[in-house]
Structure 1
C-alpha cells in the first residue's frame, strides 16, 4: 500500500545557486579486499526532475512518480505494479495546484532538515527532535530552493536519502531535486 504525503514550507521559486543539479558526482566504491564499514553511498547529488502541467483539453490532473532505489533516482511510468516501488510524486493539475508527495512504505520517516550533508547527519537530525517530521504533501508554491528533506528508515538506520530542492516551477508543476542515497552493506 502506498501512502502519499504532503508538506508545507515557505513560498519561493527559482533555481538553487549553491551547486549544480545537472551532474551527479561519482561514488567511489571500496577496493577489493577492503571491507566496507558503515553506510555506503549509492549515489550523490543525482538530479531528479518531476512534474509537468497536463495539456489543455486532456485530463485535468496527472501524477508523476519517481523511485530512489538502484544506482540513481528515476521516474516511473504509472501502473499499479510500478507504484509499489515509488518514493516521490508530483500531483499536477491545470489549475496550478501541484504538490510534492512522499510515499511512506516500510515505516519510513521523512523530515525537513537544515545543514544535512550525509546519512549520519540525517539520522542525527531525526533523533534530535529538532527536525520537523513531514506528514502531508507540500504544495509546490510553498517549496523553497535549498530546502532539505531526509528520508530515514527506522528499521535500517544505515539506509536513507537526502533530497535538496534545486529548482521549483509552480506554474509548470515541476520541481528539480538533487538526491543522495546511502545504504548499509
Structure 2
C-alpha cells in the first residue's frame, strides 16, 4: 500500500478541491485544480472552484471560470448560474442577477427555488416591489412547490437577506 497512488474520480477530485480550499485556502485549491488533467475534471470539480470564487468574491476569476465551463458545455443547469448570482449579490451588483436569469431563460434552463429567492432578493435590495411581482409572475409553480416559495420570499427582510424565524 505504501507508495501507491489512488486514482480519484472527477467528483472525488471536486470533493478534495473543496477540502483543500477549506483547509489550505483558495490558492492551494487553484493549484490543485490546475494540476488536474482535463479528464479528472467535470461539472462538479469546476463548480467547487466556482463556489470558492464566489465565497471569496473573486469576480474576475469567477467570470473566467464560468466562461471556461460554458466553453466546455458545463453550464447546462441552474447550478453555475446560481453560483454567479450569489457572487453578484455578495459584490452588491444586483443588476447583474437579472441578466443571468434572462440568460437562463434564453438557454431554456429552469430556475430552482434558490434561484427565485436570489432573484427576488435582488429586487428587495433595490426596493423594487414591481420587479418582485415580476418574479412571482415568472415563477413556474409547476416545477417548484408554491408554499415553500412564498415562505422563503416572505422571510426576506429590507436588506434582502433571508431571515430565519
Instruction: Name the TM tier (shorter chain).
Output: under 0.3
Greater relative CO (CA pairs within 8 A, separation 6+): 1
Larger fraction in helix: 2
Larger radius of gyration: 2
